[in-house]
Structure 1
Amino acid sequence: MRLIQVTDTHLHADPKARSRNGFPLRQLHAVLEHAKRQRPDILMVTGDVSQDETLASYDHAQAAFTSVGCPWFWLPGNHDQPELMAEYRQLNSEVDLGHWRLLLLDTRVHGQPHGELGQAKLQALADQLEGDDRPTMLVMHHPPVLIGSQWMDEIGLLDREALWQTLAAYGQVRAILCGHIHQAFASRESLAEGEVAVFGCPATTDQFLSGSADFAVDEASRPGYRVVDFNEDELTTWIERVDL
């Protein structure tokens, strides 16, 4: 089973709109064309699909994601409007991969750049994990760990400690995929029941400079995506970069 993650497409209603460093829709198409060569079984989009929060931007997005030719799923980021997204595609909370399963968490806080789950969502997550011990990957927009960029760490998942406390009892959670950070990232969190890998992903639009105290775009880096292969109880993952 092969999953492709794309994230932070930041599309506009105008298909020719510019970002700071390029053209979001053109770059998304280039990334997806490259990703098709990986023959994915599933496409996962981890938020900030839209930049201008318009229905037309989601129209561009759903056409692009559908062109990959495999089932695809998305969740909202801080720039998104879930109500508009749902007009095109249901916002799932779980995806069954057979031996594995994905749990999709909505970390969006209306009107805010940071993320938060809150007690109700954390309890719902615990209930989902309590009832199924299959190997599990969590998928969310905001990173649940510090990434070493001061400005980004201030707008990550604010209740990350509560998330890790919730996960401490559930050894079936093997990994977390996130968006939001516009850069490749990998770390591990050690819990009583085992380690959880955390993976960030390059954006299809502008890349952010890693380790920067203040906001900065990495003008030397290229857009990309993450590949995840699920192999029995383990997974293998890597980043692919795309020349424009």
Structure 2
Amino acid sequence: MLIAQITDLHVKTPGKLAYGRVDTARFMADCIESLLALKAVPDVVLVTGDLVDFGEPEEYRHLRSFLDRLPMPLYLVPGNHDGRDTLRAAFPDHPYLPETGFLHWVVDEYPVRLIGLDTLVPGESRGELCADRLTWLETTLAASDRPTLIAMHHPPFQTGIGHMDRIGLTGAEAFAALLDRFPQVCRVICGHLHRPITMLMGRAIVSTCSSPAHQVALDLRPDADSRFMMEPPGFELHRWTGTGFLSHRAAIGTFPGPFPFFDPSGALID
């Protein structure tokens, strides 16, 4: 099973730029082209939050003009820039999304069990796993010991990027305790950080993913200002091997190549 992860799309209404300079819609179009050009077609695409920039209905309509080009199943979790009700209303044809309450979901039809976890706190940039959300997750994990991947927006660890950690996840310690109790969780994929970061928590690899648009500046000072960079955009590919996940970062764009290492006779090219 091959899973593509995209995150932090921040699509705005047509003609609008994020922060006055980032054409997130153009970057989203490039992301879709790169996904469609993959030689190995993903079985599903998981979007780990911040689908749009202000949670507005028109933004979601604009986003759908891109996402609807994807031929494979698509699963969504909200980020701090999303709105639960507007997201739900924009994707009525996604039956895994609950009609009320938190946008948690579980899908059992693949070789790996997929769980979407809602960490959104309306009106705030931080995320939260409150007692109700943790109880839902505990009950859901207790229902099956199948290999499981959890998709969520806010990462459950400190990244060292000070301004992002200040809007991190409340309840991360309780989440880590659940990972210790339920070793079938072999992978946790997150967004929010706009860059690839990896950590081991219990038996699970937990990671964040590049954005298809702008990236958070890599500044590991605790007092670092909030800044972003126009570093190369990307997404992640996670392949289930039967015993674990093998992950690749994929760059978005067109580049020279591929070129052979050998000439047609088989001789090494100097």
Structure 2 length as normaliser, TM-score? 0.84
Match of 2:76 in 1: 74
Q: Which moved more, 1:137-146 or 1:19-28?
A: 19-28
Residue matched to 1:205: 213
CA-CA distance at 1:231 after TM superposition? 1.6
Does 1 or 2 have the higher relative contact order (CA < 8 Å, sep 6+)?
A: 1
Structure 1: state its 5+ residue gaps: none
Q: Give the conservation status (yes or no) of the 8 Å contact 2:217–2:228.
A: yes
2:25 maps to which residue? 25
Per the TM alignment, residue 22 of structure 1 is displaced from its structure 2 partner at its CA by 2.7
Spell out the pairing of 1:218-237 with structure 2 (5 A cutoff). Answer: 218-219=229-230, 221-237=231-247
Number of matched pairs: 238
Distance of 2:111 and 2:37 partners within structure 1: 25
Q: Which amino acid aligns with 2:73?
A: P
1:16 Cα deviation from its structure 2 partner: 2.4
- Cα pair 2:212 2:252 within 8 Å, conserved: no
Contact 1:105 1:139 in 2 (8 A): yes
What is the alpha-carbon distance in structure 2 between the residues aligned to residue 86 and residue 158 of structure 1? Answer: 24
Aligned to 2:267: none
The separation in 1 between residues aligned to 2:85 and 2:196, in whole angstroms, is 29
Within 5 A, what are the aligned runs for 1:52-131?
52-89=54-91, 90=94, 91=97, 93-131=105-143
Q: CA RMSD in A?
A: 1.5
Q: Give 1:196 deviation, angstroms.
A: 1.0
Matching of residues 93-172 of structure 1 within 5 Å: 93-172=105-184
Equivalents in 1 of 2:89, 2:172: separation in Å? 30
- Would the alpha carbon gap of residues 131 and 52 (structure 1) be closer, same or farther in structure 2, given more than 3 Å must change? closer
Contact 2:216–2:228 (CA under 8 A) maintained in structure 1: yes
SS of corresponding position for 2:216: coil
Deviation at residue 131 of structure 1 after TM alignment: 1.3
Q: Post-superposition shift, 1:204? A: 1.6
Moved more, 158-167 or 100-109: 158-167
Report which of the two structures shows the higher radius of gyration computed on alpha carbons. 2
Matched position secondary structure for 2:188: strand
1:238 aligns with 2:248: yes
Deviation at 1:232, TM superposition (A): 1.1
Structure 2: which 5+ residue stretches go unaligned?
Answer: 98-103, 255-270
The one-letter code matched in structure 2 to 1:30 is D
Equivalent in the alignment of 1:217:
228
What whole-Å deviation, never above 9, does each CA across 1:78-125 have from its counterpart, x for those lacking one? 111111111132426112243211111000011110000111111111
Tell me which residue corresponds to 1:5: 5
Cα deviation digits, residues 164-202 of structure 1 (max 9, x gap):
11222111011100011111111112x3xxx21011111
1:87 alignment partner, SS class? helix
Tell me the amino acid that sits aligned with residue 197 of structure 1: I
